[in-house]
Amino acid sequence: MSKSVKNPASSKLRYFVVLVLFAGMFTAMLARAAYLQIIEPDYLVSEGEARHIRIREQSVPRAMIVDRNGTPLAISTPVDSVWAHPQTVLDEGHSWGFLSRALGMEVEELSKKLRDASGRQFLYLKRHLSPGDAQEVVKLEVPGIHLEREYRRYYPTAAVAAQVVGFTDIDEKGQEGLELTFDKQLTGSPGRTRVMQDRVGHIVDYVEQLSPPRPGKELRISLDMRIQYLAHRSLLTAYTYHKAESASLVALDAKTGEILAMVSAPDFNPNDGSERVNHRVKNRAITDAFEPGSTIKPITVAMALQQGLIDVNTEFDTSPMYVGSKAISDTGNYGLLKAEGVIVKSSNVGAVKIAFLSELGSLIEPITRLGFGSVTGVRLPGEQSGNTPTNREVWREVEHATLAYGHGFTTTTLQLAQAYTAFANRGLMLSPTILPRTNATGTPVFKSSVIDELVPMLESVTSDIGTASLARVNNYRVAGKTGTVERLVGGGYATDSYTSVFAGFAPADDPDIVLVVVVHDPRGEEYFGGAVAAPVFSAVMKGALRLRNIRPTVEEQLWVAVDETELSDGVGLHEL
């Protein structure tokens, strides 16, 4: 067998090729390094920093909400949130027991959260700890655990104004009430800063401020918390005592339309997330529509006076009657009544006979002009317009008749209060506002001369023989009207479920406050508006007038005890 002989020239050639290749690679590496270090030295810096430079937001506190006098209703308090670099914490598993106890979590819960987020750079473990609790976490010195300053919304007045003010979520975004409507104004904008972080998230350098933080703008509203506290206490007491389904109250400044108080029951504490359930969060003064009942009778009378169909001495036979197949009657047979008597005794028959002096459907005109069937535009979320039959081409007699005593359309508590500003302002209706207002331009609805004749009739309602003697306020003249309405249930009227209402204003001779109280489905011994809603009106109005330094209009108020028959023979109800 012959042996192969190596070719020296071939071996040298291979060595030469390999050497050239290595030399070329080395030269290319040197050239690349020289290029980066000499020609583009910033490239390496930027590439390194890109892995550690982050944009961080600087949170700003949400602006305050305050009442007309500057009383805080919503404020933001500083809190700390605990966040983690998940993988770093996972590598320090021996500290989980202490960490979980400090966070109020089970070890298994903490472990799962970290493992599920192991590929992330940032994970919230616990939001909104008090600074003291947060420092307990920091003391553990667990690698990968950090604090972030945030803010938590707090409501100093708790349930008192909850449905009006509303609340935010954990990120301070408005969810209900004024917090939602004015979210953009209150929020402001966070600052943005470029920072350098190490691999586990520690900030090692502040590079530059990209944009400064801009706080939100404070929101001042028209509520007077002194009156709101009083209204809340009085309404909740009545709601509980009468075992009602719900209740609401609205107090307006009679001269500006500003909302001084707005209360709903049941209520809730916005500081307790577990109480934020729908039936408690609802602002029932603007969301719950109901038939206003006899509180509409003053409108029926005012329309007839304005059209010259009646005068204060026109009499009406209030014996029971039929309109078509519908029987209409009163709680008693009052015989002949003048317009004042129709209002004082709350006569359905009298109201219907007054309405029948006008064309069918004509009542809808003053009803709509007073704002029924349209939202008030008060800038509170969830406001309902109610239901008013405005598009009816042909009116039946029974539909015209029922409008006269407040059936056949629905309203909200706020809408009813808005309508009564026309009685308090000699025919000019004021739109309500939740923001402070110094001057108000009213919408003319009735002639001032008509209101001058109507107001004494409404004062008589609070006399000893009226339906609302319990609405009286000592040393002040009070005007108003009761309503006791059978509730609509399943397409018909219930015979054992009522809405109790009182709407009025005081002092009657120079009105300062318009106040409406509505109690739905009282289940106690009383259900008439004069027995359920009127006492709440009296308590709130009495305190509110004093808080606003309204001087008494009479030194001593005594009511003439007149016979019912005097309401038909020219003798009115007057003060001595």
Question: How is the chain split into domains, by residue range?
Answer: 56-220, 225-548
Q: What SS3 class is residue 218?
A: coil
Q: What SS3 class is residue 401?
A: helix
- Return d(Cα 77, Cα 349) in angstroms, integer: 60
Percent of the chain with pLDDT strictly greater than 70: 82
Rounded to a whole number, what is the largest CA-CA distance in the chain?
A: 154
- Return d(Cα 545, Cα 222) in angstroms, integer: 16
Strand 174-176 with 167-168, pairing:
antiparallel
What pLDDT shows up at residue 28?
64
pLDDT grade, residue 542 (50/70/90)?
very high
Q: Please answer whether residues 484 and 293 qualify as being in contact, where contact means their C-beta atoms are separated by less than 8 angstroms.
A: yes
pLDDT digits (tens, 9 = 90+) for 97-135: 778 888 888 888 888 888 888 878 788 888 888 777 878
Lowest pLDDT segment from 91-100, 270-279, 400-409: 91-100
Average pLDDT value over all residues in the chain? 87
Question: Is residue 166 within a helix (H) or strand (E), and if so which, with residue range?
Answer: none
Percent of the chain with pLDDT strictly greater than 90: 63
What pLDDT shows up at residue 32?
61
Catalytic residues: 294
Name the burial class of residue 7, with classes exposed (0-12), middle (13-18) and buried (19+) by CB atoms within 10 angstroms of its CB: exposed
Query: What is the amino acid identity at position 354?
Result: I
- CATH fold of 225-548: Beta-lactamase (3.40.710)
Nearest to 346 by CA among 417, 404, 401, 412: 404
Name the burial class of residue 332, with classes exposed (0-12), middle (13-18) and buried (19+) by CB atoms within 10 angstroms of its CB: exposed
- Return d(Cα 418, Cα 528) in angstroms, integer: 23
Buried b (16+ CB within 10 A) or exposed e, 260-283: bbbbbbbbbbbeeeebbeeebbbb
Identify the CATH number of the domain defined by range 56-220.
3.90.1310.10
What pLDDT shows up at residue 49?
47
Q: Is the dihedral of CA 18, 22, 25, 31 positive or negative?
A: negative
Nearest to 219 by CA among 76, 77, 79, 78: 76
Map tokens 């939740």 to a residue: 434
Kindly state the DSSP code that residue 463 receives in the 8-state scheme.
Answer: S
What pLDDT shows up at residue 177?
97
Q: What does the pLDDT average to over 554-572?
A: 47
- Return d(Cα 18, Cα 24) in angstroms, integer: 10
- Return d(Cα 508, Cα 424) in angstroms, integer: 8
Q: What does the pLDDT average to over 471-491?
A: 93
Map tokens 């009213």 to a residue: 442
What pLDDT shows up at residue 556?
54
Q: What does the pLDDT average to over 404-428?
A: 97
In the predicted structure, residue 1 carries a pLDDT above the cut 80: no
* Residue 124 exposure: Cα atoms within 13 Å on the Cβ side: 11
Lowest pLDDT segment from 195-199, 201-205, 231-235: 201-205
Q: What does the pLDDT average to over 36-50?
A: 53
Entry pTM = 0.82
pLDDT grade, residue 20 (50/70/90)?
low
What pLDDT shows up at residue 31?
62
Q: What SS3 class is residue 475?
A: coil
pLDDT digits (tens, 9 = 90+) for 139-167: 887 887 878 778 889 999 999 999 999 99
pLDDT digits (tens, 9 = 90+) for 252-297: 999 999 999 999 999 999 999 899 999 999 999 999 999 999 999 9
Extract long-range pairs of 203-210: CB within 8 Å, 24+ residues apart. Answer: 203/56, 204/52, 207/53, 210/55
